Structure formats: structure tokens, C-alpha cells
């Protein structure tokens, strides 16, 4: 059976609260106590919403603010079972952890670090009784492992609300070892410590990675099995992550590291122009840093320097099995882009960019499926002329043919679809499930669809119509794979979850025609428009074209494919974040 999911999902609801009072926790922390009817179950615009739930000590809610002060114009659209982030030019969002939730009193406590200059800190500084605040979330709550001997809670001042809430509510009855870096002794707070707990306060500037790493390394490692939770500035956590995973070798399921904020690096002064310098086109960055970082990861440079800091260039070349002149060609660029630091007399060490590249999610941008799609963009011009996909021109095969025979690539698609579980409540609540006894699933989102049905209390017999490599990959992700029939066959309803996102139009028609042989009702779960909250929304259509030769397929495009396959579109169910469920009936 697949491992237990490490989080619990919650309905996404837009809520309005008002300020009840403001308290000064310390000279460095301000608490804003919020309340209002939206914390209980309520109805708005004919839609019933459940009461606010944030059971996890490090849950996040998304505050909605506006750079121009017009918050109402920045609000997302509320769906019956989710949120649609419509485009809003002046929208600002910030994630915050509830310090305390008192539903009996109808109150939510949020703590804000004082002396910050961000939009949320500015709002809290000006907050007065009666001021309104809109927020969404949380979308999920972390599930801690059940059997632990201890937990370490590590963070800077921004992590104090989560750490304080953990100690107040004790979701685990084990000793807690707390480490907090503060920039001023005035930031220290009284914490609800018990016998066996420890707390270490370290004076350090905000975002000081060296101080945080040194303090974590100095913590005693208690006996038994433990869990490490850490939250601070994103870059400051990179060496901590490396230490925990590569040196202490803690399993990924026993570590939770979250960047709570990002330090803005000061802009480098512009180089003095020279008569011979050829300026780059305004606003268009060079692809060279990306290609160099990709090469460093493919060769193993980042891992080698992380595992053996202090290597010479020659020793690195020997370790990697790469000729010395080749490494010598790469090192100046890796140094220029801060992937490595070549300190005279002390050898090679990772720079800030290199530390980031130790993170699996960061690596995917350079070496995973997303990177391969980006490289295929080199063929976008001839693909547009020929009416094919850049991927096919780059690889000689369609993306579907490629991933169907590559477990690693198909696994990346499945992992990308894990976010679907937060969006599928609108589909699982739909009346189409009444009387459904058998459901056929296909596509890399099948595991998320199975989990969403479980969350909704739906228990149809499940079949998965994926064979070979995709079927084997899904077995490792779907909850309780032994209960599933892994052969395609008749079903009351079929759900194709992100199955069309990597298929050409002809491949999509072929799949839909096959589904028509097994069922009279099918549902297509696809992204039909860009996510309005994403900074890369403008790129969505091009990415879709690169993969399939078709732009992002909207409702009209899906209807055309359905009609070619013997289906008709009955209706669509908006899921949020640009995703829709299109319900098809056999024509």
C-alpha cells in the first residue's frame, strides 16, 4: 500500500474578518485579534460555506491586500467548492500562520513581526478596531508521524507563531527542542515549555544562514526517532536542509522545512558602459546561467562539492571523471553565477545558488521534465510553421509516447498532479456521483482523484486504465492500490485526470474514443485557463503548445475534441486555479 498522505485538505473559502483588538506581544511582535461571522459556517451569494478550520500548528492562511488600496477589486472569485484567482493588477498576497484559533469566541489571532516593511506588516502597523481583512485558507494541514520520541522546532522570529502554537496545543506528546534566532533580545517570548523541553535563543541578523546552520549543528541529537520542523528565510534554510538530509540522513518524511520569507538582495550597480560593449536586449535575460546550472547538475558538480567541500579543481575533475580542461572551462562561470565559491587556499565550496540547487524542487527546473520542455522551445518557430509540437521536433516522438515508456518522467507528471487534490472537492460533490458504483480513472492525476474520492466519502469500485510504465508508477502513488482493479473495462463514469495535457489532439481523440467503449459518462479534468495567481500565467499557453502542439485547451477546444470522439459536452464544473471538470455524455 502507498504511504499515508502527510496532510489533510480543507475547503478553500474566501472569508472576511474585522479587527477586534491589537496587542503588543513583545517590542518585536504585534498581535492582531480578528473576528467575524465568516469564521463560523455562513452563506454568501447563495453558497453555503463550512466554518473555519485550521487544526495544524503551522497552517497557512493567505491574506489578500491591494497595492492601490482597493482590496475588493483584488479578491478572488468564490466558487461553490473552491477559489478562482481572477487576474488583478494590484493584488498582493501573503501567507501567515494563525497563532491561535478560538472558535468559541469567534476569534483568530495573527502575529506580525514589527519593523518589517512588507505590505502585511504595514497593514498590521495601521490596523485599528473595525478594520476589515480578507483571507483564504488554509488549504491543508500537516500530519505529523504518529510514533516519535522527540521533535525539534527551528526558526527565526517569523516562525514564533507556529512554534508557540505547537507548544500551547501539543499535537505530539513528546519532548520539544526549540531553537529560535532573533535579531534582538526583545524578541524573546514566554513559551509554554514542559519538563523535558529545551529552548535555545540565538542572536543573529534576519536571514543569517551561517548563524542558523551553526546553531542547528550545535543542537544535541536526542536518542530515538525524531522529527525536525524548520521555518525561516528561504536561503538561510538551504544549508540546514543539506545538513539534515545529507549528513544526519533524516528521511524526507521526518523533515519539514519551509521558507517563510525571502530576503530581497540589493540590486547590483550597473556596469559602466564601454564603447565596445554590446548591450543585451532590454528585459531579455541570457539563457547562459540556466544552461551552466543544468550542466553542473548533470555532471554532479553540485553534489560533489556539497559532499566534499574544499576540493581543488583537479580533484573535482577526477571525482567526476571529467577531463580537467572541461571543468576549467565551466568553473569561472559557476563562480560568476555563485553556484560555487573558489576560495584561494581553501578549495571549492557551494555558493548561495549552489545551495539552492541541492533542493529537489529547484533541481527539477534544470534537469526534470520542466527543463526538457524548456529546451524543446528552441524548436518553437519550425513547429509553428509545420503545425506540430516543439517536443516532437526536439525528440522525434510525441510527449505521450515519451512519458509512457519513461517511469521517471511519468512520475514527475504524477507529482505535479498532487496539487489537484486541493481542487477536486467541486467535482466529488457533484450530483453525477449519485448511483455510481464503478469509476474508471486514467491520466497522471488518477492518484489525486482516488484520494479526493476518499476525502469526500465516495466509495465506488475503482479501475485504472493505465498499463505498463504509467500503471506501475501510479501503483506507488495511489492510496490503497490493492483495492483497485488495474484493468480497463466497463464503468458508470470515467475520469481522465490531466490525461490530455500531454497528448496531441489526435492522441486525445484516440483516448476519448476508447473511453466511449467503456462508459456513457466521462469527465475531463484539465487546466483550461492560466492560474491568475501565478507569476508565469502568460507562459501557460506556450508551455501547452510545446508539449502537445495545441495552446492551452479551453472549453471550446475540448468540445471540439469531444465531438470528434462521439461525445457531447453536458456542462463544466469550475474547480479553481484555472482548472475545470468537463462532463461529457456519449452522443
Residues 6 or more apart in contact with residue 166 via CB below 8 angstroms: 57, 58, 151, 153, 176, 229
What pairs with residue 495 in β-bridges? 441, 523
Residues in the chain: 587
**All cell numbers assigned to 104:** 468559541
pLDDT at 274 over 50: no
pTM score above 0.75 = yes
Question: Which CATH number, 3.10.20.600, 3.10.129.10, 3.40.50.80, 3.40.50.11060, labels domain 144-261?
Answer: 3.40.50.80
What pairs with residue 98 in β-bridges? 110
Query: Tell me: the pLDDT tens digits for 434-478?
Result: 999 999 999 999 999 999 999 899 999 999 999 899 999 999 998
Fold topology of 289-367: Arc Repressor Mutant, subunit A (1.10.10)
pLDDT at 579 over 80: yes
Q: Is 293 helix (H, G, I), strand (E, B) or coil?
A: helix
7-141: which CATH architecture?
Beta Barrel (2.40)
What pairs with residue 550 in β-bridges? none
Residue 339: how many CB atoms within 10 A of its CB? 26
**All cell numbers assigned to 280:** 543585451
In this structure, of 59-68, 226-235, 344-353, 369-378, the range with the lowest mean pLDDT score is 344-353
For domain 396-586, give the CATH superfamily: Vaccinia Virus protein VP39 (3.40.50.150)
**All cell numbers assigned to 94:** 501573503
Mean pLDDT to the nearest integer, 22-40: 95
As a whole number of angstroms, the distance between CA 387 and CA 377 comes to 14
Nearest 5 degrees, angle CA 396-CA 400-CA 402? 50
Q: How many CA atoms lie within 13 A of 425 on its CB side?
A: 19
Residue keyed to cell 481583512: 133
Contact 84, 532 (CB under 8 A): yes
396-586 has the same fold as 144-261: yes
Query: Tell me: the pLDDT tens digits for 99-136?
Result: 999 999 999 999 999 876 789 999 999 999 999 999 99
As a whole number of angstroms, the distance between CA 388 and CA 438 comes to 37
As a whole number of angstroms, the distance between CA 557 and CA 529 comes to 12
What ranges do the domains of the chain cover? 7-141, 144-261, 289-367, 396-586
Alpha helices in 13-115 (DSSP H): 71-74
Contact 156, 163 (CB under 8 A): no
Query: Tell me: the pLDDT tens digits for 82-105?
Result: 999 988 889 999 999 999 999 999
Amino acid at each position: 500500500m502507498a504511504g499515508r498522505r502527510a496532510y489533510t485538505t480543507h475547503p478553500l473559502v474566501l472569508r472576511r474578518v474585522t479587527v477586534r483588538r491589537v496587542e503588543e506581544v513583545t517590542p518585536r511582535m504585534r498581535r492582531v485579534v480578528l473576528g467575524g461571522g465568516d469564521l463560523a459556517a455562513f452563506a454568501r451569494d447563495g453558497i453555503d460555506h463550512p466554518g473555519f478550520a485550521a487544526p495544524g500548528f503551522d497552517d497557512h492562511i493567505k491574506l489578500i491586500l491591494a497595492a492601490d488600496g482597493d482590496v475588493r477589486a483584488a479578491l478572488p472569485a468564490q466558487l461553490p467548492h473552491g477559489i478562482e484567482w481572477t487576474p488583478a493588477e494590484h493584488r498582493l498576497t501573503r501567507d501567515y500562520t494563525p497563532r491561535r484559533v478560538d472558535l468559541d469566541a469567534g476569534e483568530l489571532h495573527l502575529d506580525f513581526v514589527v519593523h518589517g516593511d512588507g505590505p502585511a506588516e504595514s497593514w498590521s502597523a495601521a490596523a485599528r478596531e473595525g478594520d476589515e481583512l480578507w483571507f483564504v485558507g488554509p488549504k491543508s494541514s500537516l500530519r505529523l508521524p504518529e510514533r516519535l520520541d522527540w521533535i525539534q522546532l527551528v526558526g527565526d522570529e517569523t516562525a514564533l507563531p507556529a512554534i508557540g502554537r505547537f507548544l500551547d496545543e501539543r499535537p505530539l506528546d513528546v519532548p520539544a527542542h526549540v531553537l529560535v534566532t532573533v535579531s534582538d533580545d526583545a524578541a524573546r517570548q514566554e513559551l509554554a515549555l514542559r519538563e523535558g523541553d529545551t529552548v535555545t535563543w540565538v542572536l543573529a541578523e534576519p536571514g543569517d544562514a551561517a548563524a542558523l546552520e551553526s546553531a542547528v549543528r550545535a543542537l544535541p541529537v536526542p536518542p530515538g526517532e525524531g522529527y525536525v520542523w524548520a521555518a525561516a528565510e528561504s536561503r538561510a534554510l538551504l544549508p540546514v536542509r543539506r545538513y539534515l538530509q545529507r549528513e544526519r540522513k533524516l528521511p524526507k518524511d521526518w523533515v519539514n522545512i519551509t521558507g517563510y520569507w525571502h530576503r530581497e538582495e540589493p540590486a547590483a550597480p550597473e556596469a559602466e558602459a564601454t564603447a565596445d560593449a554590446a548591450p543585451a536586449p532590454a528585459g531579455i535575460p541570457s539563457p547562459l546561467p540556466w544552461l551552466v546550472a543544468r550542466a553542473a547538475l548533470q555532471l554532479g558538480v553540485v553534489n560533489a562539492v556539497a559532499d566534499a567541500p574544499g576540493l581543488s579543481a583537479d580533484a573535482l575533475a577526477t571525482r567526476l571523471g571529467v577531463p580537467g580542461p572541461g571543468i576549467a572551462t565551466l568553473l569561472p562561470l559557476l563562480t560568476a553565477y555563485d553556484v560555487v565559491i573558489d576560495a584561494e587556499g581553501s578549495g571549492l565550496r557551494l555558493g548561495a545558488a549552489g545551495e539552492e540547487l541541492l533542493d529537489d524542487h529547484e533541481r527539477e527546473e534544470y534537469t526534470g521534465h520542466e527543463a526538457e520542455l524548456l529546451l524543446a522551445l528552441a524548436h518553437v518557430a519550425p513547429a509553428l510553421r509545420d503545425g506540430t509540437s516543439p517536443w516532437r521536433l526536439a525528440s522525434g516522438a510525441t510527449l505521450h509516447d515519451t512519458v509512457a515508456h519513461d517511469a521517471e518522467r511519468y512520475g514527475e507528471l504524477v507529482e505535479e498532479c498532487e496539487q489537484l487534490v486541493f481542487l477536486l472537492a467541486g467535482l466529488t460533490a457533484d450530483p453525477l456521483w449519485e448511483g455510481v458504483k464503478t469509476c474508471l480513472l486514467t491520466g497522471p492525476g488518477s492518484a489525486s482523484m482516488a484520494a479526493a474520492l476518499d476525502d469526500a466519502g465516495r466509495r465506488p469500485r475503482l479501475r485504472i486504465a493505465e498499463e505498463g510504465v504509467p500503471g506501475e508508477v501510479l501503483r506507488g502513488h495511489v492510496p490503497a492500490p490493492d483495492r483497485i482493479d488495474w484493468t480497463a473495462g466497463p464503468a458508470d463514469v470515467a475520469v481522465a485526470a490531466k490525461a490530455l495535457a500531454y497528448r496531441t489532439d489526435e492522441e486525445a481523440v484516440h483516448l476519448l474514443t476508447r473511453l466511449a467503449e467503456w462508459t456513457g459518462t466521462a469527465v475531463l479534468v484539465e487546466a483550461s485557463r492560466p492560474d491568475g495567481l501565478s507569476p508565469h500565467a502568460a507562459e501557460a499557453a506556450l508551455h501547452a503548445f510545446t508539449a502537445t502542439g495545441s495552446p492551452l485547451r479551453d472549453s471550446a477546444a475540448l468540445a471540439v475534441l469531444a465531438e470528434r470522439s462521439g461525445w457531447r459536452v453536458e456542462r463544466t464544473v469550475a474547480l479553481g486555479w484555472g482548472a475545470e471538470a468537463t462532463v461529457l455524455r456519449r452522443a
